[in-house]
Chains A and B, each alone.
Chain A
Amino acid sequence: MALQSKIRELKEKREKLLLGGGEQAIEKQKALGKRTARERIMSLLDDDSFNEYDLFVEHDARDFDMDKKSLPTDGVIIGTGTIYGAPVAVFAQDFTVAGGSLGLMHSRKITKIMDHALKMRVPLIGINDSGGARIQEGVNSLAGYGEIFFRNTISSGVIPQISVILGPCAGGAVYSPALTDFVFVVDNISKMFITGPEVIKTVLGEEVSMEDLGGARVHSEITGNAHFFASSEEECFDQIKKLITFIPWNNSRKARPFEPAEPLEKFNINKIVPDDPTLPYDVRDVIRAVVDKSDFFEIMELYAKNIVIGFGRMGGKTTGFVANQPLEMAGVLDVDSSDKAARFIRFCDSFNIPIITLVDLPGYMPGVDQEHAGVIRHGAKVLYAYSEATVPKLTVIIRKAYGGGYIAMSSRHLRADFVFAWPAAEIAVMGPEGAANIIFRKEIMSSDDPDGTRRQKIEEYKQKFANPYVAASRGYVDAVIEPSETRKFLLHSLAVSENKMIQLPEKKHGLPPF
C-alpha cells in the first residue's frame, strides 16, 4: 500500500514537471508558432522511445532572490530515444522555463547527455531555444557554455552532432551549433547572432531586424551557418529524420544499408548535359540519374549554389556527392563553395562515407573581391580535404576540368581511387579561348586577319587538348566511359573499394587552412 501511494506521488510530481513553465508560458510559446520542447522531442523520436533523465533537476542560483524561485527541469529536457530504430541522444531547451536561459544545472544536464552520447557512440541532437546566459548565475553560466563547447569539439568526428535552432540562439550560445556537423533552421522561428539588433543599434547606429540580422534565410543563404532550411518545424523534423537514415551512429560504423534500387527512368543521363561546355544544366539531375530511386538529399541547398553537396545511395549504401553546378556561376570554385565542399568532404571522411565527385568547372573564380576574401586560403581547403580523405574517392569528369579546379576536384593527383571521364570531357590548363589567346598571342597579333587566326588557333587547341584522351594517355584518367555506363562503373568501383585500407603518416593532427 505504501508503494502504491509512493507511485502516486511520483506520478503527481511528474505530471507537474511535464508542464515545464506552466500553461500560461506554453500558450505564449504557441502564440509564436512554436511547439514546446517536449512536443519537439516527441515529434522527432519514434513513438514511445523517449527515456527522459534529470526531470527532477532544479536550478542552483542563490543570488538576486533566485533561491525563492523554482525552475522546473531548469529549462532543458534531456534523454535518449530512437529515430527509425537508430539510437540518439537528445536535449531540448525549454523556453517556457525562464526563457530557456542557461544556468549551471541547465548546462550540467546538457553536458551529461553529451557525455552519454560520446561514451555510447550515438548521434547527439540539440534543440536550441534559449534567451542565452542566465545573468543571475554569472560566471557559472559562462562556465556551462564552455563545458558544452569543449564537448562539441571533443565529440567532433566521433559521433554525428546535429543542432536544431528553434528560437533564439544568441551570444556565446551560437558557438555550440557552429561546432556541430549540421545546423537546422526554420523560417521565422530561428534567430542566431553574436550581438543582437539592440546592441548593434546602440553601439553602431545601424538598425536591423532580428530576421534580417540572423534569421533562417540569412544563415541558409548568406552566412552558410545553417545546412537545412525548413518552412515549418514539422518539415524540419522530417529533414532531421531523413538525415539520420543516411549517416552512421559513429565513426567506427557505416551507415545502415537500404535495399538497393534503380534510379527513376525519367532522369535520362544521355539527355541532361549539353555538348557546348559553355551551356548550363542542373547537375543534380545527373546525380539523380545515378543514385538509387533518384533520391538525392541535398545539403546547404541555398548557399554557394555553384557547388552541390549531399547524400544519395548507391546499391543501398550511403554515398556523399560533391558536384560543380554549371547552372550557378558556371560552377566555379570560390571562397564560399570551397568552404562548403571541404567541410562536407571531411564529414564523409570522418564517418566512413565514400565520396563521388562530379566535375564540370571552368576553374577558380577570378576577381579582386575573391582574392581579397582569401580565395587562396579557402580554395586550399578543398585540396586539403580531398588529399586527407581516406574513404573511397570516385571521380567522374563530365565536361570541363580546367586548371587548379581540375586538380582540386578529387583528381588522381590527390589520390582519387578511380577517375572516369565522359567522352566530351576537356581536361586542360584553361578553356580553349583563353589558352589560344596566350599561346598564339604573337601569331594572332601579327596576322592580317586576327579574328580568323584566333578562331583557327582556338580550334587547333580544342582538337589537341580539349578531350579526355591526353589525361587518359598518362593514366590520370582510368577509363573514358559513356554517360550511360556511369552507374555501372560507379557501383563496381564502390564494391571494389569496400575494404579500402591506406595508412597516412602518424601525426597529432594536420593544419588545414581554416
Chain B
Amino acid sequence: MNTDKLGRLNIDSTHYTTRISRKYAERAHFKKANPKHILSFIPGTVLDILVKPGQKVSRGEHLMILEAMKMQNLLKAATDGTVKKISVKKGDKVAKGSVLIVLE
C-alpha cells in the first residue's frame, strides 16, 4: 500500500501510519476558561450593556443582556474585577464564543 499521503497518529507512544480524519484534524483544542473573559455562550444580539470601561464590578453583577432564541439572557461577572474592555456595542450580532467583555 502506498503510504505517502497518509498521516501519523501517536497512541501510547506508538506512531501509526494512517489517514487522519477531517474531524480529528479540525477538532477544537482545549483551552482553560478564563473567568475574566465574558463570552457569548450562544449566538445572539447585544441588547444592552450595563457597565462602562473602568467600572469596578463584583462577582454576580450584571454586565450585559444578550438576546438569543427570543430570550433575554443576563450575563454576569464570574469574578470581582474592573471592566478593562468592552468589545461590542448595542445591537451587535455576535457568534457563539466571542469575547464580549474583558475584566482585569
Contacts and interface: CB of A to CB of B under 8 A. Distances in A.
Nearest to B45: A205
Contacts, number: 91
A433 interface: yes
A204 B3 contact: no
A280 B3 contact: yes
Contacts of A367: 27
Interface in A112-170: none
A360 to B, nearest CB: 11
A278 B16 contact: yes
Interface in A441-481: none
Interface in A247-284: 274, 277-282
Nearest to A366: B11
A330 B95 CA distance: 35
Contact of B20 (A281, A326, A329): A329
A433 B16 contact: no
Given A204-B43, A329-B19, A278 B14 contact: yes
B13 interface: yes
Interface string A415-441: 000000000000000111111010000
A232 B41 CA distance: 40
B89 to A, nearest CB: 16
B69 A204 contact: yes
- Indicate the size class of the contact surface on chain B: 20 to 34
B21 interface: yes
A306 B28 contact: no
B22 to A, nearest CB: 8
Interface in A157-212: 203-206
B44 A329 contact: no
Contacts of B95: 205-206
Contacts of B44: 204-205
A410 to B, nearest CB: 21
B17 A433 contact: no
A206 B96 CA distance: 10
Contacts of A329: 9, 18-21, 24
Interface in B9-55: 9, 11-21, 23-24, 27-30, 42-45
Contacts of A402: 12
B68 A363 contact: no
Given A205-B45, A280-B1, A329-B9, A362 B68 contact: no
A502 interface: no
B39 to A, nearest CB: 15
Contact of A205 (B14, B27, B43): B43
A437 B13 contact: yes
Nearest to A204: B43
* Residue among B14, B43, B70, B93 with the highest chain A CB neighbour number at 10 A: B14
A369 interface: yes
A200 B8 CA distance: 38
A205 B11 contact: no
Contact of A327 (B18, B27, B69, B70): B18
B11 A362 contact: yes
B92 to A, nearest CB: 10
A326 B16 contact: yes
A205 B18 contact: no
Contact of A330 (B9, B30, B43, B70): B9
A368 B9 CA distance: 15
A305 B11 contact: no
Contacts of A314: none
A280 B12 contact: no
A308 interface: no
A332 interface: yes
A431 B12 contact: yes
Interface in A308-352: 326-332, 336
A363 B14 CA distance: 12
A332 B11 CA distance: 9
B6 interface: yes
A277 B16 CA distance: 8
A367 B9 CA distance: 12
A430 B21 CA distance: 23
B43 A206 contact: yes
A328 B45 CA distance: 41
Interface of A: 203-206, 222, 274, 277-282, 305-306, 326-332, 336, 362-363, 365-369, 372, 402, 430-435, 437
Pairs of residues from A and B, 7 with the lowest C-beta to C-beta distance, nearest first: A434-B12, A330-B16, A368-B30, A431-B14, A433-B13, A204-B43, A434-B13
27 contacts: A203-B68, A204-B43, A205-B45, A206-B43, A278-B15, A280-B6, A280-B18, A281-B1, A282-B1, A306-B21, A327-B18, A329-B18, A329-B21, A329-B24, A330-B9, A330-B16, A330-B18, A332-B11, A363-B11, A366-B12, A368-B30, A369-B30, A431-B12, A431-B14, A433-B14, A434-B12, A434-B13
